[in-house]
Amino acid sequence: DAGVTQSPTHLIKTRGQHVTLRCSPISGHKSVSWYQQVLGQGPQFIFQYYEKEERGRGNFPDRFSARQFPNYSSELNVNALLLGDSALYLCASSQEQGRFRSETQYFGPGTRLLVL
């Protein structure tokens, strides 16, 4: 079975542009979470979606938005890019929403975004 897939793998943008990152969860997984990982740091939680609804949001500005589709895939959108948005963007999927804390999140390889 395929794991979590993300596209593109790498992306270069300039300040002020917008970007859309895509994620396909593991087959059968209904929940998708997005994390930002700046070089040398641990991942930081951005969003969690379950059944197409936003269930949680981290401390990120409104320039960051996301959505989940009926097939449970997800997009992360970032508008008005800043240099500080350069990071590895990780998508993780789990079977359920996570009411039970043992719902393991499985990560994709990430999309590396560079903002110039």
Partner 1 sequence: GESVGLHLPTLSVQEGDNSIINCAYSNSASDYFIWYKQESGKGPQFIIDIRSNMDKRQGQRVTVLLNKTVKHLSLQIAATQPGDSAVYFCAEIISGGYNKLIFGAGTRLAVHP
Q: Could you list the residues that contact partner 1 (CB under 8 A)?
A: 4, 31, 33, 35, 40-45, 48, 50, 55-56, 58, 90, 92, 94, 97-99, 101-110
- Report the amino acid identity of residue 36: Q
- Name which of 3 and 16 has its Cβ closer to partner 1: 3
CA 16, CA 40: separation in Å to the nearest integer? 25
Burial of 11-26, coded b for 16+ CB within 10 Å and e otherwise, reads eebeeeeebebebbbb
- Name which of 17 and 27 has its Cβ closer to partner 1: 27
- Name which of 33 and 74 has its Cβ closer to partner 1: 33
Angle at 35 between CA 29 and CA 37, to 5 degrees: 140
- Name which of 15 and 112 has its Cβ closer to partner 1: 112
CA 14, CA 26: separation in Å to the nearest integer? 32
Q: In the beta sheet, which residues pair with residue 94?
A: 31
